[in-house]
Amino acid sequence: MRLLKWFKSTRREWIFTLAALGTVILAPAVIRWLDPEAAVIDVGGFGSLLIWGIFRLSLAMLAAFAILHYAFPTLDDYIDGGAFADDWRELTPRARVGALLGAVLALATLAVLCITIGF
Convert the pLDDT of each residue in 8-65 to its tens digit.
Answer: 777 777 787 788 778 777 777 777 777 777 655 555 566 667 777 777 877 887 888 7
Output the pLDDT for position 27. 74
d(CA 17, CA 15): 5
pLDDT range class, residue 70, cuts 50, 70, 90: confident
Give CA angle at 68 (50, 108), nearest 5°. Answer: 30
Range of lowest pLDDT (29-43, 65-79, 96-110): 29-43
Output the pLDDT for position 15. 81
Residue ranges per structural domain of the chain: 2-116
| Bigger pLDDT: 91 vs 27 | 91
